[in-house]
Amino acid sequence: MWGSFGALGGGTLSAKLGEQIAVAVADRNQCEYCLSAHTVLGRKAGATAEEMTAAQAGHAADPKTDAALRFALKLVEQRGQVNGDDVHRLRDAGFTDEGIVEIVAHVALNLFTNYVNVALNVPVDFPQVKLRRAA
């Protein structure tokens, strides 16, 4: 798992965007541990508190980031069933094929960590962030 995070850290997407994707996915999966941890990590990567709150809701003021978050959440909500128009919107926002694959990889890795933390009821040892979505 840590090797996968390390590999993604060397990709084309910024650490900030990776953390924004992580909080959006964590909120959708109701993973309090990941939401709290990635909010802290996002702040360390240069995101403001407002940017992390917006990302948790799947939005961003920056159009490129917003496109990535919308795509990431569509992957989660539709279990990967996206279409060519969804991918074209990412390209139109400025993502290369490599960046698009990295977004998918970030979503997949965060799904894994969400499931581990939720299934094993890992206690939150970061400043707790409240989930937006009700159970």
Judged against a pLDDT cut of 80, whether residue 16 lies above it is answered with yes
Please say whether the structural domain 2-119 has been given the CATH code 3.90.1640.10: no
**Helix, strand, or coil here: 69?**
helix
Residue 28 pLDDT grade (very low, low, confident, very high; cuts 50, 70, 90): very high
* Per-residue CA distances from 113 to 37, 47, 88, 97 (Å): 11, 21, 28, 25
**The residue to which tokens 């799947």 are assigned:** 58
Share of residues in the chain with pLDDT > 70 (%)? 98
pTM score: 0.92
Q: What is the mean pLDDT of residues 66-77?
A: 97
